[in-house]
């Protein structure tokens, strides 16, 4: 399944990447996915925690240099 939305949160610090992700996910249908790119070191903790607390599925996490890429599926 491909992502239906993308967020470029590079340059944003905690909690903005999670807040932007939450806002975009609220507009999606269950099963749709969002791709998020961050470079805030706190995202390593914040994004998985947000997914766990909100019930969304963290499908993918990978790092490319300073950037981190996340794929989250709305549940």
Coil, helix or strand for 37? strand
**Active-site amino acid positions:** 14
- How many helices (DSSP H) and strands (DSSP E) are in the chain? 2, 4
What is the pairing mode between strands 5-9 and 67-73? unpaired
């Amino acid at each position: 399944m491909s992502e239906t939305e993308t967020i470029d949160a590079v340059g944003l610090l905690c909690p903005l990447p999670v807040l932007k992700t939450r806002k975009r996910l609220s507009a999606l249908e269950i099963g749709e996915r969002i791709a998020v790119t961050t470079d805030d070191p706190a995202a390593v903790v914040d994004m998985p925690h947000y997914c766990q607390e909100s019930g969304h599925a963290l499908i993918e996490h990978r790092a490319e240099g300073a950037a981190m890429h996340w794929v989250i599926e709305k549940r």
